[in-house]
Chain A
Amino acid sequence: MGAILELQGVSMSFGGLRAVDSLSFDVNENEIVSIIGPNGSGKTTTFNVISGLYEPDSGDILLNGESVAGLRPDRVHDKGISRTFQSLRLFSSMSVLDNVLVGMHSKGRARLLPSMLRLPSVRREEAVLRARAQEILAMFPGRFSGPRQSQAAGSLSYANRRRLEIARALASEPLLLLLDEPVAGMNPAESHEVMEQIHDLKNAGYTILMIEHDMHVVEGVSDRVIAMDHGVKIAEGSYEQVANDPRVVEAYLGKRSTDAAS
């Protein structure tokens, strides 16, 4: 069980603000790691740096020992990192199935002329991709069955849109899945279901790094938790260790309350 993802002293600043400050951590194979921290602590920026939306100012990011820092997002995706977004970013007027198929873009090979002529090779590839996309959608039983697949993604319920985003990220069978607040805005029953699904993904062999605010979910699924504040890693370990770390409590509740607690 080696490290799939390694961050080595990654820093990223905007103007004078150090959003991420020499951050280092590993994610091991088939592990679920959660990043927690108050708003503005640099969690999403970390995701953006890993997924290639930003080039880090310094430090390196290794995927299976190979540097991916500064690669374009599409190349990072090709290398095996796919992600979801905190504020849903689906292709809302495209169908549910098409959304998943876009996630499989890098799996396809069809080029311009064969696609225009719809050659047998293209048809075969398309059929394979479609079948695979349906398999992925079937991982969410009852949510995307039958006619729902040709509905526009924008017409789905909020929870289903979140699920579809996960499905789209899974479509490329990534080495590492980045989930940015997968249960944000869901009710307890729905978030419980997502939790189960994350467990299933782990059993299916996926490695997941996620940002989450819902502590029940963090507690329920994480093998390891990393707490961040002001761009710095302030604690790392099991959920219990991190949750009871005084610095984490301080970051969430402020200095005074820790004084009162002690």
Chain B
Amino acid sequence: MVAARALNSVRAIFYKVPRSAYVIGTLLIAVAFPMLNAVGVVETAWIRVGVLSLLYAMLALGLNIVMGETGLLNLGYIAFFAFGAYTTALLSSPKFDLHWPFIVLLVLSALIAMAAGFFVGLPTLRLRGDYLAIVTLAFGEIVRLTIINLPSVTNGPNGIPSINAPRPLGMKLTDTLLATNLPESLKNWLVIDKPVEYYYLVLACVAITALLLTNLKNSRIGRAWNALREDELAAVSAGITASRAKLLSVVLSAGIAGFAGCLFAYYSNVISPESFVFMQSVIVVCMVVLGGMGSIPGVILGAIVLQALPQIIRESAGAARSEFEVYRMLIFGIIVVVMVIFRPEGLLPDKEWRREAHEADPREIESTRQSLFTLEEGEKDLEV
């Protein structure tokens, strides 16, 4: 009882602080983190963990559009990530001796993933949520198996090695600038090839994506998605074209995955089909569920917790890799079940953030919690 009251007062303080303070605070910490590496407090390995966490945060942001905002389940999400990664790898590696510029590939990866999203989404979005989940799963597996079975293009299971390091300013300009006598510290940033540089690149991308998606969430389009999630029948009766709105959400989320895939390919230098197995899709789903479906800060937190925490634990426990992987997945599975049963709104629910200005009425939160995830199957209206 006492503990509960204490917890509530902590929560009250937590929600009193304006949201912008948290955002700025988080950004400051994120920006400052690599500097700890520069002064030798943190090993470079941790910067790598940071890069991967941010890449997953990007994926979680994208998946959240479909899962959290529109209420559809995509179990083949990693396939769109693969589209982005392979686009980049094929066009910027010795495989076909193509070396397209970074910016072009960033956009192209997103576009190709979006096209894939369009072609899966178009015929399938009429389906109910659970069927859609299975269709996307099948699609994800088809993509992965195709990558494995087409070695002439993708090198099959071996993957594509030696992907170029990104040069944000393009080949020529970078080479010219490298030849000049710019200070060495600036020259370093012309070719992004160190973990710290990747870290800032991905951080910037995540921050921009989060900002854009927050804007979108509070717009006409975001509301249409939420309405479809809450009650599709009422939403279409209120003038929302369900097929178009759903397709938009699937395509946009695919685009973000493609974008992340491009960054991933550059960062990891070698990509292979192993990175795009079904489990990876499930991991992203776990992140969204843990953080809170529909909550942008939530899913970022979910991604960081699930990506970084296991590393920290592994580091301190010194466990062997394969065995550790088993426990990690075991815990992920348990997290999903426990969250879904006991706290379906996630760690950082969207609702409570939005109503920070008002004193939250506990009854109201309770009823929101219930209504948020209790679908009234209410087919009563359609009965004769």
- A–B contact, 8 Å CB criterion (strictly below): yes
- Inter-chain contact A105/B240, CB cutoff 8 Å: yes
- Inter-chain contact B239/A77, CB cutoff 8 Å: yes
A92 an interface residue at 8 Å Cβ cutoff? yes
- Inter-chain contact A112/B221, CB cutoff 8 Å: yes
Query: Which residues of A71-112 have CB atoms within 8 Å of chain B's CB atoms?
Result: 72-74, 77-78, 82-83, 85-87, 89-95, 98, 101-103, 105-106, 108, 110-112
Candidate in A14, A17, A74, A147 with the most chain B CB atoms within 10 angstroms:
A74
B236 an interface residue at 8 Å Cβ cutoff? yes
Query: Which residues of B200-226 have CB atoms within 8 Å of chain A's CB atoms?
Result: 212-213, 215-216, 219-224, 226
Proximity string of chain A (147-164) to chain B, C-beta cutoff 8 Å, 1 when within and 0 when not = 100111011000000000
Which single residue of chain A is at the shortest CB-CB distance from B363?
A155
Inter-chain CA distance A262–B43, complex, in Å, is 97
Of the candidate stretches B17-25, B44-52, B171-179, B373-381, the one touching chain A is B373-381
B59 an interface residue at 8 Å Cβ cutoff? no
B58 an interface residue at 8 Å Cβ cutoff? no
Instruction: Give chain B residues whose Cβ lies under 8 Å from the Cβ of A30.
Output: none
B371 an interface residue at 8 Å Cβ cutoff? yes
Inter-chain CA distance A108–B227, complex, in Å, is 15
B372 an interface residue at 8 Å Cβ cutoff? yes
A118 an interface residue at 8 Å Cβ cutoff? yes
A180 an interface residue at 8 Å Cβ cutoff? yes
B367 an interface residue at 8 Å Cβ cutoff? yes
A126 an interface residue at 8 Å Cβ cutoff? yes
B248 an interface residue at 8 Å Cβ cutoff? yes
Candidate in A14, A89, A103, A125 with the most chain B CB atoms within 10 angstroms:
A89
Say how far A97's CB is from chain B's closest CB, in angstroms.
Answer: 10
B252 an interface residue at 8 Å Cβ cutoff? yes
A234 an interface residue at 8 Å Cβ cutoff? no
Say how far B155's CB is from chain A's closest CB, in angstroms.
Answer: 36
Inter-chain CA distance A173–B221, complex, in Å, is 20
A233 an interface residue at 8 Å Cβ cutoff? no
Q: What would 17 A/B residue contacts be, using CB atoms closer than 8 Å? A: A53-B382, A77-B236, A86-B380, A86-B381, A92-B371, A93-B371, A94-B226, A95-B354, A102-B238, A105-B240, A112-B221, A116-B215, A151-B364, A152-B364, A154-B372, A155-B367, A168-B238
